[in-house]
């Protein structure tokens, strides 16, 4: 009889919560994704937090920091995921409720601080940055050049996320002569998925606009806790039900040929020193929109195979997927799962065949990641669960802009973030299709990464009919 990982966790959590009325009230369970983030953090020698940041440029003087701080506290007070601490109690990962967990601060952009170019680490006032720290590759013209010190200051501050720090951090930076200020809205990934980003930008703007109005009554906070608890319990029920023999058989068949890279799991592990290349394609309209994600999967597979330099193993590509359980309130939190897509050697596949496999995978999207790894290994895969590449996709039509006192922030993107895999592709679909490829600079030279990106774009254009 197979023992479900989710069932084992629920038994431990219920035992912990039943210890007292106080424990039952202040300890909330975690979804599978939240537990993975927390366990990964505890195993990291540096205790690093997986962070989801957004960056917005505002005209200088737009952002009132004290007012923003009040808005952030007000937002956090209404969302249990932003109150308290993600922690491990008696060996059990939980969310321990407390007061709003936020930081709002101005970050100094040091004189002479600029992001690194493609061939070297960042330099601060003539001093070399520590080895292994990511560098930032951005164009040195226009707004990016003007914001370079602010960008590097925010990047440095987010890398230095306190181990026991707040769940939500709002950091503002600008060099003395900048006409714009950059605002980082960053969250612990355990509290944030794609749907949460829209809740944060919309809620933060609304709280900023309502500054000075009477705060919501205490019953609203209690109702929010119960809505959050119900959503998490619904997600856990879905994960438990998805750990079935049928699901395990599906993933065993799909992933049984996966293999580790030649150097073992460490060769496909997290990357600290990263570069980035970017391209904007026309937005996809009409019925073709349904093919955007499978087209991206195939394009990322083409790039990953190019970086694998002709290897004959099946690569493991991961992508987050999920949403709130049916009937759940739109609570802020992390309700996604990481699905695995196998990328075998050989020419790119036809989009309809790849799409059919992808739809079959989505039928088993709630199967917890650790259960998927078990299934693959039971089928003979020499795979530890590490990923060769990651794909994230965001539909910008679902995320309201961040508006502070009538001024909408202009979203910008910073390179140089640590990656959970040697290759990561992010796509944002709004007025256009913005595609960004980040890579491990200690593993791949820039010329090889750019060639892989060209392969990705060629595959994507072929599937979507985008002009070169």
Q: What is the pLDDT of residue 268?
A: 56
The total domain count for the chain is 2
Nearest to 460 by CA among 452, 95, 399: 452
Residue 340's DSSP bridge partners are 318
Q: Within this chain, do residues 405 and 269 fall inside the same structural domain, yes or no?
A: yes
Q: What is the pLDDT of residue 146?
A: 56
Is residue 92 domain-resident?
yes
Mean pLDDT in consecutive groups of 10 residues from the start of the chain, 468 residues? 81 91 90 92 79 94 96 95 92 94 91 45 27 29 63 90 89 91 96 93 95 74 93 94 92 93 60 84 83 94 88 92 89 94 86 92 93 94 92 89 95 83 92 93 94 95 76
Neighbours of 60 (CB within 10 A): 12
Please tell me the total number of residues recorded for the chain in this structure: 468
Q: What is the pLDDT of residue 124?
A: 27
Q: What angle do CA 287, 292, 293 make, to 5 degrees?
A: 130
Q: Within this chain, do residues 95 and 197 fall inside the same structural domain, yes or no?
A: yes
Is residue 236 domain-resident?
no
Q: What is the pLDDT of residue 270?
A: 60
Q: Within this chain, do residues 332 and 254 fall inside the same structural domain, yes or no?
A: yes
Q: What is the pLDDT of residue 43?
A: 79
Is residue 269 domain-resident?
yes
Q: What is the pLDDT of residue 347?
A: 79
* Cα 117 to Cα 139: distance, rounded to the nearest angstrom: 9
Q: Within this chain, do residues 281 and 379 fall inside the same structural domain, yes or no?
A: yes
Q: What is the pLDDT of residue 416?
A: 75
Q: Within this chain, do residues 340 and 422 fall inside the same structural domain, yes or no?
A: yes
Of 179, 197, 230, the one marking the end of a domain is: 230
Q: What is the pLDDT of residue 129?
A: 26
Q: Within this chain, do residues 266 and 226 fall inside the same structural domain, yes or no?
A: no
- Torsion (CA) 380, 386, 391, 392 in degrees, nearest 10: 120
CATH code of 371's domain: 3.30.559.30
Is residue 190 domain-resident?
yes
What strands, in cross-sheet order, belong to the sheet with 27-28? 27-28, 92-100, 83-89
Q: Within this chain, do residues 267 and 189 fall inside the same structural domain, yes or no?
A: no
Tell me the H-state helices in 272-418: 292-307, 351-362, 369-378
C-alpha torsion sign, points 141, 430, 365, 453: negative
Q: What is the pLDDT of residue 256?
A: 95
Q: Within this chain, do residues 193 and 263 fall inside the same structural domain, yes or no?
A: no
Of 201, 230, 259, the one marking the end of a domain is: 230
Structural domain of residue 181, as residue ranges?
Answer: 5-230
Nearest to 425 by CA among 466, 463, 393: 393
Neighbours of 218 (CB within 10 A): 9
Q: Within this chain, do residues 282 and 374 fall inside the same structural domain, yes or no?
A: yes
Is residue 300 domain-resident?
yes
Is residue 235 domain-resident?
no
Q: Within this chain, do residues 349 and 453 fall inside the same structural domain, yes or no?
A: yes
Is residue 433 domain-resident?
yes
Q: Within this chain, do residues 364 and 285 fall inside the same structural domain, yes or no?
A: yes
Q: What is the pLDDT of residue 131?
A: 24
Of 204, 230, 256, the one marking the end of a domain is: 230
CATH code of 207's domain: 3.30.559.10
Is residue 239 domain-resident?
no
Q: Within this chain, do residues 57 and 121 fall inside the same structural domain, yes or no?
A: yes
């Amino acid at each position: 009889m197979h023992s479900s990982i989710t069932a084992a966790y629920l038994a431990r959590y219920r035992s912990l919560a039943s210890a007292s009325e106080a424990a039952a009230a202040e300890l909330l369970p975690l979804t599978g994704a939240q537990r993975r983030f927390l366990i990964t953090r505890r195993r990291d020698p540096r205790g690093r937090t997986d962070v989801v940041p957004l960056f917005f440029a505002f005209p200088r003087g737009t952002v009132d920091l004290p007012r923003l701080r009040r808005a952030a506290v007000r937002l956090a007070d209404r969302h249990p995921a932003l109150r308290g601490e993600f922690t491990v109690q008696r060996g059990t990962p939980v969310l321990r409720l407390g007061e709003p967990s936020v930081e709002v601060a101005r970050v100094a952009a040091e004189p002479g601080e600029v992001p690194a170019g493609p061939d070297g680490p960042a330099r601060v006032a003539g001093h070399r940055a520590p080895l292994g720290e990511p560098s930032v590759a951005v164009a040195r013209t226009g707004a990016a050049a003007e914001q370079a010190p602010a960008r590097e200051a925010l990047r440095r501050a987010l890398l230095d996320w306190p181990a026991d720090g707040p769940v939500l951090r709002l950091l503002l930076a600008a060099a003395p002569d900048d006409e714009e200020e950059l605002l980082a809205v960053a969250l612990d990934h355990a509290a944030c998925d794609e749907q949460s980003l829209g809740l944060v930008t919309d809620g933060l703007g609304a709280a900023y606009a309502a500054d000075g109005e009477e705060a919501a009554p205490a019953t609203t906070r209690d109702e929010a806790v119960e809505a959050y608890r119900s959503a998490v319990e619904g997600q856990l029920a879905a994960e438990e039900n998805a750990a079935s023999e049928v699901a395990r058989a599906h993933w065993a068949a799909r992933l049984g040929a996966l293999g580790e890279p030649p150097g073992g799991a460490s060769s496909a592990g997290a990357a600290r020193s990263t570069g980035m290349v970017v391209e904007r394609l026309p937005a996809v309209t009409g019925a073709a929109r349904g093919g955007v994600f499978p087209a991206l999967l195939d394009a990322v597979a083409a790039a990953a195979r190019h970086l694998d330099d002709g290897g004959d193993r099946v690569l493991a590509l991961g992508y987050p997927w999920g949403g709130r359980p049916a009937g759940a309130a739109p609570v802020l939190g992390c309700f996604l799962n990481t699905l695995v897509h196998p990328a075998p050697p050989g020419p790119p596949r036809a989009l309809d065949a790849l799409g059919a496999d992808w739809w079959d995978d989505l039928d088993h999207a709630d199967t917890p990641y650790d259960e998927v790894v078990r299934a693959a290994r039971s089928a003979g895969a020499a795979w530890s669960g590490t990923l060769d590449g990651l794909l994230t996709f965001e539909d910008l039509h679902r995320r309201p802009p961040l508006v502070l006192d009538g001024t909408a922030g202009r979203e910008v993107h910073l390179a140089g973030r640590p990656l959970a895999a040697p290759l990561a592709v992010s796509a944002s679909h709004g007025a256009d299709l913005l595609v960004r490829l980040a890579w491990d600079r200690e593993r791949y030279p820039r010329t090889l990464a750019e060639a892989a990106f060209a392969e990705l774009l060629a595959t994507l254009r072929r599937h979507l009919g985008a002009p070169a």
